[in-house]
Amino acid sequence: MAAPNGALRRATAEGSGRHIECATMSTASFLIALIAIFIAAKVFGEIAERLGQPAVLGELIGGVAIGVSGLRLVDPHDVTIHLLSELGVILLLFVIGLETDLKKLMQVGGSATAVAVIGVALPLAGGFAFGELLGMSRMVSLFLGASLTATSVGITARVLSDLGHLKDDASQIILGAAVVDDIIGLVLLTIVGTLAEGGALTVLGIGRIVLIAFGFVLLAIVIGSQLAPMLIRAIDRIKVARGLLFASIVFALALAYVAQRVGSAIIIGSFAAGLVLARTHRGKDICREVHDVSQFFVPIFFVAVGAAIDFRTINWMGFALAAIGIVGKVLAGFVVWRKGMNRLVVGAGMIPRGEVGLIFAQIGLSTRLLSAELYSAVTVMIMITTFVAPPLLRRLLAQETPGELESGSADIVMDAPADDAGS
Min dist. Cβ of residue 30 to a second copy (A): 5
Per CB under 8 A, the segment of 112-120, 137-145, 225-233, 355-363 that binds a second copy is 355-363
Residue 338: CB minimum distance to a second copy, A: 26
Residue 340 beta carbon to a second copy: minimum distance, rounded to whole angstroms: 30
Return the residue of 293, 323, 327, 331 that touches a second copy, per CB under 8 A: 293
Q: φ and ψ at 200, to 5 degrees?
A: -100, 150
What is the DSSP secondary structure assignment for residue 416, as one 8-state letter?
-
**211 to 240: interface string for a second copy, x by CB under 8 A:** ---------------------------xxx
Q: Write out the binding residues for a second copy, residues 99-118 only, by CB under 8 A.
A: none
Select from 333, 326, 337, 316 the least CA-distant residue to 380: 316
CA 107 to chain centre: 23
Could you say which residues in the range 115-154 bind a second copy, by CB under 8 A? 150-154
Q: Is the dihedral of CA 79, 253, 150, 413 positive or negative?
A: negative
CB-CB contact of 96 with 274 (8 Å):
yes
Q: How far is the CB of 368 from a second copy (least distance, A)?
A: 9
Of 146, 175, 180, 256, the one binding a second copy (CB under 8 A) is 256
Cα separation, 304 vs 359, in Å, equals 16
Interface with a second copy by CB under 8 A: which range of 95-103, 218-226, 329-337, 410-418? Answer: 410-418
Shortest Å, Cβ 374 to a second copy? 13
**Cβ-proximal residues to 14 (8 Å cutoff; 6+ apart), any chain:** none
**Between 202 and 423, CB nearer to a second copy:** 423
Size of the site for a second copy (CB under 8 A): 106
What is the Rg, in whole angstroms, of the alpha carbon atoms belonging to the chain?
Answer: 22
- Residue 353: phi and psi, rounded to 5, are -110, 160
Residue from 52, 71, 72, 79 binding a second copy (CB under 8 A): 79
Instruction: Return the number of the residue (327 or 416) whose C-beta is nearest a second copy.
Output: 416
DSSP 15: H
CB within 8 A of 160, min separation 6: which ones? 166, 168, 171, 174, 349, 393, 411
Name the minimum Å distance from CB 155 to a second copy.
8
Our finding on whether 406 is near a second copy (CB under 8 A) is no
Distance between CA atoms of residues 24 and 13, nearest Å: 11
- Which residue in 117, 205, 289, 315 binds a second copy (CB under 8 A)? 289
* Contact map string, positions 311 to 350, toward a second copy, x by CB under 8 A: ----------------------------------------
Site residues for a second copy, 257-286, by CB under 8 A, read 257, 260-261, 263-268, 285
62 lies in the binding site for a second copy (CB under 8 A) = no
The answer to the question of residue 195 lying near a second copy (CB under 8 A) is no
d(CA 392, CA 414): 20
Residue with smaller CB distance to a second copy, 4 or 101: 4
Q: Which of 222, 250 has the CB closer to a second copy?
A: 250
Query: Reduced to 3 states, what is the DSSP secondary structure of residue 116?
Result: helix
* Nearer Cβ to a second copy (267/341): 267
Task: Report whether 364 contacts 196 (CB < 8 A).
Answer: yes
CA–CA distance, 75 with 56 (Å, rounded to integer):
20
CA 188, chain centre distance (Å): 18
- Per-residue contact track with a second copy, 8 to 37, x per CB under 8 A? x--xx-xxx-xxxxxxxx-xx-xxx-xx--
Give me the count of residues in the chain: 423
Distance, in Å, from the CA atom of 227 to the CA atom of 129, rounded to the nearest integer, reads 47
